[in-house]
Structure 1
Amino acid sequence: MTDADHPRPRRSGLRGFGHAGPSPWTDLDRPPLDEAALRRDLVLPGALWTAVDVVAETGSTNSDLAARARDGAPEGAVLVAESQSAGRGRLDRRWSAPPRSGLFFSVLLRPEGVPVERYGWLPILVGTAAAATLGRVAEIEVGLKWPNDLQVTVDGAERKLGGILTELSGGAVVAGLGVNVSLREAELPVPTAASLALAGAAVTDRSTLLRAVLREFAELYGEWKAAAGDPHASGLLPAYTARCTTLGRPVRVQLPGDRELVGEAVAVDGDGRLVVRTPDGVRHPVAAGDVVHVRPQG
Structure 2
Amino acid sequence: MNKANENHHVSLPAFDAQAISDAITNLAFFNECHVFMSVGSTNDTLKRMAASGAPNGTVLIADSQTKGRGRFGRQWVSPPGKGLWFSILIKPGEISTNRWHLLPMVLGEIIVLNLNKLTPVQFHVKWPNDILFNKQKVCGILCESVSSRHAFDYIVAGIGINVNNNRPEFPPALQGTATSVKLAIGHEMQRTDLLLDLMRDIGEKLHQIFVNQQVLSVNYWRDHCLDFNKNVQIRAGKKIHTGKFIDISDDGGLVLETENQQRMIIPYGEATLMKEKR
How does the TM-score come out when normalised to structure 2? 0.85
Cα deviation code 1:66-102 (max 9, x no counterpart): 0111112111111111110100101211121321110
Shift of 1:237: 1.9
Find the counterpart in structure 2 of residue 272 from structure 1: 252
Cα deviation code 1:16-72 (max 9, x no counterpart): xxxxxxxxxxxxxxx851122223322127x21111221111100000100111112
* Cα contact 1:118–1:229 (8 A) shared by 2: no
Q: Determine helix, strand or coil for the equivalent of 2:64.
A: coil
Q: Determine helix, strand or coil for the equivalent of 2:228.
A: coil
Find the counterpart in structure 2 of residue 208 from structure 1: 193
Q: Determine helix, strand or coil for the equivalent of 1:199.
A: helix
2:91 aligned with 1:110:
yes
2:103 aligned with 1:122:
yes
Cα deviation code 1:112-159 (max 9, x no counterpart): 443347220111111111111122245541111001101001xxxx10
Find the counterpart in structure 2 of residue 10 from structure 1: none
Q: Determine helix, strand or coil for the equivalent of 1:210.
A: helix
* Cα contact 1:252–1:292 (8 A) shared by 2: yes
Find the counterpart in structure 2 of residue 40 from structure 1: 22
Cα deviation code 1:140-196 (max 9, x no counterpart): 41111001101001xxxx100010111114711000000101111111230210001
Report percent identity of matched pairs: 30
Runs of 5+ in structure 1 lacking a partner? 1-30
Alignment of 1:46-125 (within 5 A): 47-116=28-97, 118-125=99-106
Shift of 1:229: 5.9
Q: Determine helix, strand or coil for the equivalent of 1:44.
A: coil
Find the counterpart in structure 2 of residue 199 from structure 1: 184
Find the counterpart in structure 1 of residue 137 from structure 2: 160
* Cα contact 2:233–2:277 (8 A) shared by 1: no
* Cα contact 1:139–1:202 (8 A) shared by 2: no
1:262 corresponds to which of 232, 237, 242: 242
Find the counterpart in structure 2 of residue 25 from structure 1: none
Change (3 A) 1:241 1:201: farther
Change (3 A) 1:113 1:249: farther
Alpha-carbon distance in 1 for matches of 2:50, 2:196: 23
Shift of 1:206: 0.4
* Cα contact 1:137–1:209 (8 A) shared by 2: no
Alignment of 1:276-291 (within 5 A): 276-287=256-267, 288-291=270-273
Find the counterpart in structure 2 of residue 185 from structure 1: 167
Q: Which has the higher contact order (CA 8 A, sep 6+)?
A: 2
* Cα contact 1:138–1:201 (8 A) shared by 2: no
How many residues are treated as equivalent by the alignment? 256
Greater shift in the superposed pair: 241-250 or 118-127: 241-250
Greater shift in the superposed pair: 63-72 or 163-172: 163-172
Shift of 1:241: 2.5
Find the counterpart in structure 2 of residue 242 from structure 1: 223
Q: Determine helix, strand or coil for the equivalent of 2:141.
A: strand
* Cα contact 2:110–2:201 (8 A) shared by 1: yes
Alpha-carbon distance in 2 for matches of 1:139, 1:207: 22
* Cα contact 1:109–1:173 (8 A) shared by 2: yes
Which letter does structure 1 place at the counterpart of 2:181?
Answer: L
> Highest CA radius of gyration, 1 or 2?
1
Change (3 A) 1:218 1:91: same
Alpha-carbon distance in 1 for matches of 2:189, 2:99: 33
Alpha-carbon distance in 1 for matches of 2:146, 2:186: 35
